[in-house]
Chain A
Amino acid sequence: MKQDRRFSRRAFMTASAALGAQIALAGSGIGCGRLTTGGRPSAEPAIDLAAVTGDSPAKNCRAAIEALGGLARFVRPGDRVVLKPNPIGANPPEDAISTHPELVGALVADCLAVGAREVLAVSHDGMRSFIANGLHQAITENGGTVKAIESAADYREVIVPRGRILRREMISTDLLDADVFINLPIAKHHAGSEVTLAMKNLMGINWDRIRYHRTDLHQCIAELAATVRADLTIMDANYVLLTNGPGGPGEVRHGRRVIAGIDPVAIDAFTTRTFWRDPGEIAHIRIAYELGVGEIDLSKLKIREFAA
């Protein structure tokens, strides 16, 4: 068909039921690539979020991870680590469009240093962006690899039990099969979702992003965050795009900061302060909290803010 004409309501429903039957026939085969391993160090860290300020993005990143208990808490020898930076645009770091290459490069080196067998950076954005903004060089020079996940074959279907709009979603197979998934957003304004932080950065590991924009972007972002969980999120707020995001150019604040943690709602809630916003005003952060993805109330979190 010329365009994806909307199915009749009944046709859509019947199609969904038929797809469900196919999946059921396959048993629990969907999304079965990863194994639930268990056995990681489980000592409770002292804090939920670490926010580190300093001139060096790499030092900020390392200090934030150290405050959470060190990288070895998250990455074990032999692990396959998947990173999801925000790689868009061909701009230098000072424009605050893509995740700072220095931060990403340092993390790749550190993952390998603690014994990771492979560190792979993925995103649906084309390889051209990775190369133009310096991320490709930073990753490969430090021993990592880069993959632009541009084909449907790079994705596998999972179900979305906590979805209102989403019922099934195609997610990067590399991510689903990873031992460790680290989300590496940059803090930016976004014309559609108001801000693009940790949860919005997950748009890039799913196949059909257009549907999000055509339905309810905030709701879909939150539902995706209830479906895919990073083991660690490191927010690049070294340079923050305050206006005209996500592509810029816009007003940039030299935030000199990295924020790290596990709870994506907490990280996004904390980072909205950079934009002088209340996290409850940002619909996808509020909805994610309502979906049980994480904590929006910063007063309930243990946050350590310090200088590197």
Chain B
Amino acid sequence: MGLAILATAMLPAAGAQLEQATRLEMDGEYAQARDAYRAFAADQPQHRLAPLAVMAQANIELLAFDDHGAAITAYDHLVRDYPQSEWAAEAARRKAELLEAGEAWQQAGQAYGVALELAGRQPNGPGAEWVNEVSLATADCFYQAGEHGAVIETYEAVLQNPLPAESAATITYRLADCLETSGHPELAAARYAELIRTYPGMSSARDALAKRELLDQHESIDWEPYLALAEAREAVRRRDFAGALEQYRLARDGTEDPAVRRCADYGTINVETSLGGDYTQGLERLERFVDELSDPTQFPNSTRLAQQYRMIAEGERRAREHPDDAAALSSLGMQYVQARASEKAIEVLERARSLDPEDGDVHLGLGYAYQGAGRGEEAQQAFTAYLEHDPHNTQVLNMIGYTCLGGGDTEAAIGYFQRYAEVAPDDPNAHDSLGEGYLRAGRLEDAAREYERAVELDDSFANSYFMLGEVYRQLDAPEKAVAAYRRFVTLVASGPQADQARAALEELGQEP
């Protein structure tokens, strides 16, 4: 765009150079953009944006030109010359990803290790999710390389860093699991116990409760409060709020352990707010609770929850002041949907719909709300009404298709999935969904064709391989089924579907 020259003149030199690069990128002139970044980093190597320029150069080599060698060279340049930069860890990670894609497992594992080390040096380094993903990747690569000792070392090293509670809990579980499967039951039990005692509110701690047999052999744990916490959460999931409150009370009264008592208090606030519907009071209680925490990361959702309560309380106030304001009701209804207060959401969104039947968003919100309340038919009607306003919304087309499947209306589901595939013919998920529709209808050849189309569009679309395995078994094409299952377990090494795929391979007379 010609205005680059004008704009360049108006900004400081560094900003102008990077702005020019952006404009070149918008024009698809990636070679020139890459050269602009390279020149910037060469001309001003001490500039605060120089590491960013090297990173952008590397990313263009990779994303625009698929030149892995040039990308790795540039990532190495960044790690070598700017190890303190906030981009260094990400550069090491992306190099590692390329090595991993090339199945250079050991090198990839080492490169991921460098990424973690660089991240650990930064006071405001990458977040918990990043550390989680990279540590998992490191361990994955060392596992593939057959270096189980390195897997354990990786996790132990990562746990030396100050980590948000959720990450620390997840990695502790993985470490324990690895120790257990590597023939170190005592060490594994110690890690499981540490996890349960230190992070009783985390989902990985609940997973560790399943290791009771192992733990009872090596550790002494007072199980009741932890089991009560787990049961409370299960009751919440079932929407048995009275049962949940009772379990939280048992957990709190059954121990002096402050970690358990905090979890019970947090859950109690949550449930009582949902039950009583007084979000203003709930917000006050939650804010007091968070203020008293020494490590707020123990409750990673508390900030989001407080924000949700705040917005609902504000929305309720507005709805009281403006009971005929459809927009205010719609906004409040969506807040209720997000809070999973489905019945309240239905009530206010129905009022909003009566005031403004043409508002598509209200229909969408109602679809979600009815779905959350288990009222599939009404959900389907609301989603259908929404589609009149936004007929090409692929997510809704997919959702309504599955709502129809859930209600047993397979032909209607197929219709929606076909529309999804028409709107987004290159989306593998569209063909995967359509394949599922055909499969339910017993149209196996059609299902196979759609699943094959999905993996043709994306040869790593794991679910379609799994489903192809099932379809080909039913079509009595065992060789194709074996190939599909094998591909699936290559892509998804663990989990319930992987277990099913391995069992299917065994049934087909293959080594899982």
Q: Does B31 contact A (CB under 8 A)?
A: yes
CB distance from B490 to the nearest CB of A (A): 9
- Chain A contacts with B in 8-38, Cβ cutoff 8 A: 8-15, 17-18, 20-21, 23-24, 28-38
Stretch from A50-58, A156-164, A234-242 at the B interface = A156-164
CB distance from B304 to the nearest CB of A (A): 11
Instruction: Kindly state the separation between the CA atoms of A291 and B26 in the bound complex, as whole angstroms.
Output: 17
Verify A161–B63 contact, CB threshold 8 A.
Answer: yes
Verify B133–A9 contact, CB threshold 8 A.
Answer: yes
Q: Does A126 contact B (CB under 8 A)?
A: yes
Given contacts A11-B462, A11-B492, A244-B318, are A44 and B28 in contact (CB under 8 A)? no
Residues of B contacting A13 in the complex (Cβ-Cβ under 8 angstroms):
97, 100-101
Task: Identify the closest chain A residue to B49 (Cβ).
Answer: A292
Q: Number of B residues whose C-beta is below 8 Å from A?
A: 88
Per-residue A-contact encoding for B1-26, CB less than 8 Å = 1, 0 else: 11111111111101100110111111
Q: Does A268 contact B (CB under 8 A)?
A: no
CB distance from A21 to the nearest CB of B (A): 5
A-B CB proximity, top 6 nearest: A24-B66, A32-B28, A31-B28, A161-B56, A37-B2, A292-B18
CB distance from B96 to the nearest CB of A (A): 10
Given contacts A36-B29, A191-B311, are A18 and B56 in contact (CB under 8 A)? no
Given contacts A161-B25, A161-B60, are A1 and B463 in contact (CB under 8 A)? yes
Instruction: Kindly state the separation between the CA atoms of A199 and B385 in the bound complex, as whole angstroms.
Output: 33
The contact of A295 among B12, B33, B97, B328, by CB within 8 Å, is: B12
Q: Does A61 contact B (CB under 8 A)?
A: no
Instruction: Kindly state the separation between the CA atoms of A246 and B423 in the bound complex, as whole angstroms.
Output: 29
CB distance from A114 to the nearest CB of B (A): 14
Verify B59–A228 contact, CB threshold 8 A.
Answer: no
Q: Number of A residues whose C-beta is below 8 Å from B?
A: 84
Given contacts A35-B27, A229-B22, A263-B11, are A2 and B402 in contact (CB under 8 A)? yes
29 sample A-B contacts, Cβ–Cβ < 8 Å, listed by A number = A2-B398, A2-B399, A2-B402, A3-B399, A5-B463, A14-B491, A15-B458, A28-B31, A28-B64, A30-B64, A31-B26, A32-B27, A35-B27, A36-B1, A42-B8, A158-B28, A159-B60, A161-B21, A161-B25, A161-B33, A167-B59, A226-B22, A228-B22, A228-B26, A229-B23, A247-B331, A263-B10, A291-B52, A292-B49
Instruction: Kindly state the separation between the CA atoms of A188 and B178 in the bound complex, as whole angstroms.
Output: 51
Instruction: Kindly state the separation between the CA atoms of A9 and B360 in the bound complex, as whole angstroms.
Output: 36
Verify B29–A23 contact, CB threshold 8 A.
Answer: no
Residues of B contacting A256 in the complex (Cβ-Cβ under 8 angstroms):
none
Task: Identify the closest chain A residue to B62 (Cβ).
Answer: A20
Verify A262–B10 contact, CB threshold 8 A.
Answer: yes
Verify A10–B22 contact, CB threshold 8 A.
Answer: no
The contact of B327 among A43, A89, A179, by CB within 8 Å, is: A89
Q: Does B186 contact A (CB under 8 A)?
A: no
Verify A40–B2 contact, CB threshold 8 A.
Answer: yes
CB distance from B143 to the nearest CB of A (A): 12
Verify A10–B26 contact, CB threshold 8 A.
Answer: no
Residues of B contacting A91 in the complex (Cβ-Cβ under 8 angstroms):
327
Verify B5–A40 contact, CB threshold 8 A.
Answer: yes
Task: Identify the closest chain B residue to A152 (Cβ).
Answer: B424
Q: Does B65 contact A (CB under 8 A)?
A: yes
Verify B66–A23 contact, CB threshold 8 A.
Answer: yes
Residues of A contacting B198 in the complex (Cβ-Cβ under 8 angstroms):
none
Verify B37–A128 contact, CB threshold 8 A.
Answer: no
